[in-house]
Amino acid sequence: MKIHERLLRIDRRIIYAILLLVVTLPLVFPSVLKVTPMNPVEKLFEAVDSTPDDMAVIIDCSYAPQIKAEVEPMAIALLRHAFKTRKKVLVLSLYVEMIGLATRALNQVVEEFNSTARTSSDSIIYGRDYVFLGWQPPPIVPMLGMGESISAIYVVDYYGNQTDTLAMMKGIRNYNNISILVALSGSSIPISWVAYAQNRYGLRVGVGCTAVSGADFYPYYQTGQFTGLMVGMKGAAEYEELVERNHAVEGRRIASEAMLSLTYAHLVIIFFIIAGNIGYFISRRRERRQP
């Protein structure tokens, strides 16, 4: 078989094996790859960073287990950022199967901060520093209802407390008291936040999404409907970089650890695409030359 035919007929098991190797080896033998934060991620970072003391940030953790690898690092980086800078945080999920993941991210970051805290003011305390609102179906109810009153929609929080009795909620009534809402999702939920909450109440919306949705969401960033945008694992790594660089927050950077694997995997795929195209064009030219 000639080489250009071999290039067209590479056994897919070889491709799988090479990909598995280039993805696994950098994880087992880690090395640092510096990530340069891009403009959309910086905009989101600045929007969260500039939240006034009397306002809160809402984090919508609406990501399913199948996209956890891309979006959970975003949630963790955001929570680290918010807690380090003592921003008030409200967390919610729009679907019940995502509550477990939201709880997991919250518990992890709260534990990180409280394990090194020495006083009450250093600690992250539920009800004072953050509130987990839980889930309220269907999604449009909290999207529109929170514009009037958050505690009317989430009468009780996830843990069963009356929401309006929590210390943090005293000054947080509705979207007027929310600096930005960051929607972490793998579906079109962020567009719904823009269509309902931003359209009617002027709420600023930031987004953390999977790479699959990234191409769909850039038009909304370009028009300013999304204040900032994190796309995929790379977006999460960029945010982790900004949080560590600006606020010296330490903690495992899951997304950043994966950047080398991601880079090598992309290079391998680019190589095979080029190889396949070379084989294709050579084959086509030879077929045309034959009488």
Partner 1 sequence: MNIVMLAGFLAIAPPASVRGYDTPDDGGRSITLEWTLSPDDGVIERYEIYRSCNGVDYEKIGVMGRGRGLFEDDTEDRRQYYYKVAAVADTARAFSEPSAPVMSSAQWLNRKKINIIVAVAVFGGLILLFIQRARRGQKLFVRKIAGLQAIDDAVGRATEMGKPILYCPGIGYIEDIATIASLSILGEVAKKCGQYNTELINPHFDPIVYTVAREIVKESYASVGRPDAFDPDSVYYVTDSQFAYAAAVDGIMLRERPATNFLVGWFRAESLILAETGASTGAIQIAGTDQVSQLPFFVTACDYTLIGEELYAASAYISREPLLLGAIKGEDWGKVIIGAIIIAGSILGLLTAFPILRLFD
Partner 2 sequence: MNISTDPWIWIASILSLAILSFLYKENPIFRAAEHIFLGVANGYLVTFYWHRILVPILFRPLFQQGELLLIIPFVVGILYLTRFIPRLSWLVRIPIAIYMGYWTGVLIPATIQAQIIKQMQGTVLTSQNFQAWNAGSWGIVWSVLIFVGVLCTLSYFYFSREHKGVIGVTSRVGIVFVMTGFGAAFGYTVMARISLLIGKLQFLLGDWLGIIR
Interface residue list for partner 1 (CB under 8 A): 52-55, 171, 176, 212-213, 216
Among 17, 96, 167, 274, binds partner 2 (CB under 8 A): 96
211 binds, among partner 2, partner 1, none (CB under 5 to 8 A by kind): partner 2
64 binds, among partner 2, partner 1, none (CB under 5 to 8 A by kind): none
Q: Which is nearer to partner 1, 100 or 171 (CB)?
A: 171
Residue 2 CB, shortest distance to partner 2, in Å, is 29
Helix (H, G, I), strand (E, B) or coil at 50: coil
Terminal Cα distance for the chain, rounded: 21
Q: Are 126 and 101 in contact (CB under 8 A)?
A: no
Q: Is the torsion defined by CA of 49, 54, 55, 56 positive or negative? A: positive
254 binds, among partner 1, partner 2, none (CB under 5 to 8 A by kind): partner 2
Task: Tell me how far apart the alpha carbons of residues 57 and 99 are, in angstroms, rounded to a whole number.
Answer: 18
Contact pattern from residue 21 through residue 60 relative to partner 2, giving x for each residue in contact according to CB under 8 A and a dash for the rest: --xx--xx-x--------x---------------------
Q: Which is nearer to partner 1, 5 or 54 (CB)?
A: 54
Residue 112 CB, shortest distance to partner 1, in Å, is 29
Among 53, 215, 287, 291, binds partner 2 (CB under 8 A): 215
Task: Tell me how far apart the alpha carbons of residues 207 and 186 are, in angstroms, rounded to a whole number.
Answer: 10
Residue 189 CB, shortest distance to partner 2, in Å, is 13
Q: Which residue has the tokens 């079109």?
A: 188
Amino acid identity at 231 = V
- The verdict on 198 binding partner 2 (CB under 8 A) reads yes
Q: Which residue has the tokens 């009317």?
A: 152
52 binds, among partner 1, partner 2, none (CB under 5 to 8 A by kind): partner 1
Residues in the chain, total: 291
136 binds, among partner 2, partner 1, none (CB under 5 to 8 A by kind): partner 2
Contacts of 4 (CB under 8 A, 6+ apart): 278, 279, 282, 283, 286
| Residue numbers 232-291 binding partner 2 by CB under 8 A | 232-234, 254, 257-258, 261-262, 265-266, 269
Task: Tell me how far apart the alpha carbons of residues 167 and 172 are, in angstroms, rounded to a whole number.
Answer: 10
CA separation (Å) from 129 to 23, 79, 91, 150, 164?
39, 11, 11, 16, 14
Q: Which is nearer to partner 1, 53 or 248 (CB)?
A: 53
**DSSP per-residue codes, 69-109:** HHHHHHHHHHHHHHHHTT-EEEEEESSGGGHHHHHHHHHHH
What residues line the site for partner 2 (CB under 8 A)? 19, 23-24, 27-28, 30, 39, 66-70, 96-97, 99, 134-137, 140, 144, 155-156, 158, 191, 194-196, 198-200, 210-212, 214-216, 219-220, 222-225, 231-234, 254, 257-258, 261-262, 265-266, 269
